[in-house]
Structure 1
């Protein structure tokens, strides 16, 4: 009985210490590794972190570490102290796609990290060169079955590549993949007529479609785009099971004290409700998820399972 009392007392003291720690956290700057060069993810991360540092009264310092589909930056964080002072802002694909895409990973996505938040999702827009005589997804599928078409992407294993691979598998299509080093270049060549079609983020497609340089046909997510509500989803266009959404995620090294993880999750939620972040989401066509910390972890696990099936069936590799 005495031993049990000692164990209970030790546990209570440990919880009290963690609670006190979370009340003083952070008491110094927090480093946040962003796994891309300055661009959409970087802009979103900085907007959220700016709100967090206003409330928590400590700098959240961004370090951009791009490379290997996010693996380079994630590996740095995986090997950092689990004290809440090194965090990771990444594309979800580092944790949902890379484990199947890469033959060898420098870290274990399930054991080396604890998800804090998956605050937004975004879909891809399917677009074609305006000279392609199609006005709908049904037209596109029919033409692709009658004539061999090409599609561009931002590179092997990129969201644009994965979305088209999933769509081709769903629609029973066989098209030639033309990978680029970045989505911007791929969209430019579709506008120029060098490639027939592309899936890309709405912010890269919709302005060009409104200018008549592309023809947008549909979006890949389970909801219509707020920036172009006239566009149907792929699911509404004859493929009801189709849903290809991607996300941004904030994570910490595994072992980070739970009170700190919960505090950070709460701060992300508060940041998402500020006018500044809401406006950024509107302009970028992001959808706020409203997911809790446990739900964010479940979202990543579910997406990892879904994309593993697509990658294996489509024989996609990182090379």
Structure 2
């Protein structure tokens, strides 16, 4: 018996034909609706403004860098990247807000060294950066500087080392606070140089600078941007920059490596992170966009203005930096018994 012509078509063929017809009927909107959620989210990203959380007050170096990068991303992606300042608890408030945000690419954080240091400083650890966040891109670094009141007898870092060896813990330095990046930088330096200084923590850099300028304390550790106007006015002098290369802000000041400590570095670094579950294709796209932003004259100039440099590179470099910095700070906090303010 001859089968009807239509019966020669297999069931799979009929299903495939009906599926294609269904797609045609659905149209583009229906196809997008049928895609997995991460694919739908990325296809039109960003469709609304993106938050850039910063764990510091407006007006500081991290805030300035975040705003510059955010403007470049806005120009490239066509949506505002809005800086949201959430200072407090050594940036832990901002980190927690980022971790708890939806992992959809609409909440990012511009962070610094505290992300690595706070896991050792605060016990129990308030978060695990490698578990709770995903590294998007490194932005750049700014050196910590050791500066002195203009009337001190130290012409350079070698003079300070000689004086400190002659009177252990007899020379005081101010910092923006216990566990701050400048404080930790000097702790690293003391161990490298074999000296002991007396740490005097302040709640922020402004009052610390005022007291060093006024002669109440001889030294301060802070980022390059904050001391620049006082060096120009002749009230402070920079003894060393704690970075591998000389600072564009202080090109005549030798680095700590040039002063007899090759390989030593204690810089403030900046990077972008996102909630851990952010889809990896979106993370990779954001990394590429930040890399583009780092090539723009505006971002490069802004980094130079705060005394630093951009650090373009693969995402894995930032992943490894967080991991290595976490281990380095963990050892320092235990050895020096540092407690947060």
Q: CA deviation at 1:164?
A: 1.1
Match status 1:234 vs 2:256: yes
Residues in 1 aligned to 2:155 and 2:314: alpha-carbon distance in whole angstroms: 39
Which blocks of at least 5 consecutive residues in structure 2 are unaligned?
Answer: 1-33
Q: CA deviation at 1:21?
A: 3.7
1:161-180 matches, cutoff 5 A: 161-180=183-202
1:38-49 matches, cutoff 5 A: 38=58, 39-49=60-70
The CA deviation string for residues 244-285 of structure 1, in whole angstroms up to 9 with x for no partner, is: 112112111011011111111111111111121121112111
User: Do 1:127 and 1:217's aligned partners in 2 also have CA atoms closer than 8 Å?
Assistant: yes
The CA deviation string for residues 137-196 of structure 1, in whole angstroms up to 9 with x for no partner, is: 111111112231111000001111111111112212222211111112212211111111
Q: Which residue among 274, 283, 286 is the counterpart of 2:296?
A: 274
Q: Secondary structure at the match of 1:151?
A: strand
Q: Secondary structure at the match of 2:258?
A: helix
User: Do 2:141 and 2:268's aligned partners in 1 also have CA atoms closer than 8 Å?
Assistant: yes
Q: Secondary structure at the match of 1:76?
A: helix
Residues in 2 aligned to 1:244 and 1:70: alpha-carbon distance in whole angstroms: 19
Q: CA deviation at 1:18?
A: 4.3
CA RMSD of aligned residues (A): 1.7
Q: Secondary structure at the match of 1:36?
A: coil
Larger Cα-atom Rg: 2
Residues in 2 aligned to 1:219 and 1:59: alpha-carbon distance in whole angstroms: 36
Match status 1:205 vs 2:259: no
User: Do 2:52 and 2:108's aligned partners in 1 also have CA atoms closer than 8 Å?
Assistant: yes
Q: CA deviation at 1:206?
A: 3.0
Q: Secondary structure at the match of 1:277?
A: helix
Q: CA deviation at 1:27?
A: 1.3
Match status 1:60 vs 2:78: no
The CA deviation string for residues 277-307 of structure 1, in whole angstroms up to 9 with x for no partner, is: 1211121111111122121111111121222
The 4+ residue runs of structure 1 with deviation greater than 3 A are 14-21
Point out the more displaced range, 154-163 or 169-178.
Answer: 169-178
Q: CA deviation at 1:20?
A: 5.4
Map of 2:241 onto structure 1: 219
Match status 1:121 vs 2:136: no
Q: Which residue among 282, 286, 291 is the counterpart of 1:264?
A: 286
Q: CA deviation at 1:15?
A: 9.4
1:23-172 matches, cutoff 5 A: 23-38=43-58, 39-93=60-114, 95-147=115-167, 148-172=170-194
Q: Secondary structure at the match of 1:237?
A: coil
Q: Which residue among 187, 205, 208 is the counterpart of 2:209?
A: 187
Match status 1:291 vs 2:317: no
Residues in 2 aligned to 1:314 and 1:118: alpha-carbon distance in whole angstroms: 28
Q: Which residue among 260, 266, 279 is the counterpart of 1:244?
A: 266
TM-score by structure 2 length?
0.85
Q: CA deviation at 1:19?
A: 4.9
Q: CA deviation at 1:107?
A: 2.2
TM-score by structure 1 length?
0.91
